[in-house]
Structure 1
């Protein structure tokens, strides 16, 4: 370890880092101001009404819960099976998982309208509601993620002399003990992450009145979405952090993880989507072509973005070994996969309210006041467009998550024995080199397969 990382002398952000922090701070502040405006005006400042009671906030809640759960699973599985091959990604994956669950949890607050309503989950919970279980597991999961990250990094924090070590000392016996504790933490993290997103899926899957949601496959599909998006985010972030900091991503891991991502996408898009949509197509149409066209064509642009842009194209990039060896191909596939999962959430939430349970006139009241000039407070088809207030609040919360990751990269070592500096490295990247002046370690020295 280089001397600049000893003691409390943590390097400062460079010019690019300060600009990035400033941009994130501005977005967070803008989101906070927009939230104060929504508090003063009520939920009428949003595009939601009695028809669309869930919209952008809940869609992003589901999306970031998936990112968090997937990231934690991907980071924990190697720990559980005592594999050191992906050690360089473990801390980064847990940091991303923690930031994403913070974003997801904060998305609930503006959706409730009044923050005081959140006390109802604590003071008078109705355990028959999956919403209560989801709230509880989000809180437990967030606290666990923070503790898990500290467990993985506390010896390195102690080595750096960081106060975040909270009195822990760096000893060889302590590191051996922490490796055993990391195994048990991973044994808890994997089912906890699965439970987190399964409960979120059951919130949708138990809605009997919503034909697009009522399905026993919603929870398994949510888990596969989490694996696809979580691994995609981890890959993209690792490549970016490798480029702009002294964190070093072993390049040989990129095609290997791309192969795993391809398998996840194939299971999700090819198998689970078919298993979910084919029964609906069969139940609605009893002729071969009608069933086939209903199954293949889909019913919205969101469907095509989800399955083709976020599924078929990434799969095509990852299925060819020679293409998969290229970092740009894996990163492109990861970005497209994340975009696809995002639009699957849009498809799930935004189209889920389009078809109302009451189709006869006058329909369902939107809950908005009558303004005259031909305005109609009744509707038989759901229509929703997010307002600028919703967009600003959402972007502000997401920027806060990015800020957590950025600050975490500064003060928390992402690789054993090393911190991360936010300036260009002076030496070329190698697969075995470690960041910030660390000594080079060969794969067989680390016990990697």
Structure 2
């Protein structure tokens, strides 16, 4: 069976690695570590197809150590013990380098079994993960390792790699591959920063191309079919899920309806309207808040409509709610107020209620205060009277500060009016 194009084109040197200039360019941290010849324990974190395995292989091939490879998806404790058993043998006299792909799939006990050996230097660990290592990897392993983040590769960085891949296919198969700059660009932009996905798309595009007179021409029509969903970098349980939701939330908060619609569209295209709707309900209260209180029932109505309609029609009320919130005035005063109140709950013991707010109790003999003495606001002008409501220890605490928007300033002026009339 022929090896995939992605493996045939895999770089053999750091100079050939696509992207990752932030850690692999001249004088950047990982480049300097690799060139020093001293390999520490490392964790490579980033999405699939961006070079984590490639860089690990380059390190292994240039360090002179005995290389062992395990994959967290199928490695067992006995596999790890087999690696440990080779410590000190003739074949490992220059040390053992263990490349552990998808380390997040190993359980805590399996990860713990490596601790003693990576700490004393018997094993040098290079692990890779597509999930945030600070959540997915055992903390003791993290503390003994240096984490390097790999980022999606840009389309511009992908173009030379795609051209090289097409050239390799042409040389191997004895025919010329015709691909316009537009085709190369379309492949580059359709793969979401995933080099492996770009190589696979290029390979399939050649296979599906139009063959004539020793030449294969990649057509737009075939590429459209191959690449129409290949740029969807989305994992409902992974970092990408939370990154998209975070970007969406911050775009609405920042009043950028276009960016908000972009991230919403990515969630809709992935079929995840549940997460999107939940975040929209949160934004209505957290970020629009009291500046436009009607956003809450309106967004709720749009969410209900979206969930009843289902896709594809759900996009309509979702878009309406997003644009409404992004273009509405913003206030986080309610959010800040409840957070401040919760901080007091954490720091204060259970405080007594003011006597006049308690439910009516029987005053026994010897009671210091007889009667409740609650002032019923509706018995007073404007249905308002000043009295203490907070516990004594917090009686002067202020949690809520009126926002500067029209809605809250109107409420502020009304409050001032009541207070001014009390002073008359």
Task: Give the structure with the higher percent helix.
Answer: 1
Structure number with bigger Rg: 2
Higher relative contact order (CA 8 A, sep 6+): 1
The interval holding the TM-score normalised by the smaller chain is under 0.3
Q: What TM-score, normalized by structure 2, do the two folds share?
A: 0.22
TM-score by length of 1: 0.21
Higher share in strand: 2
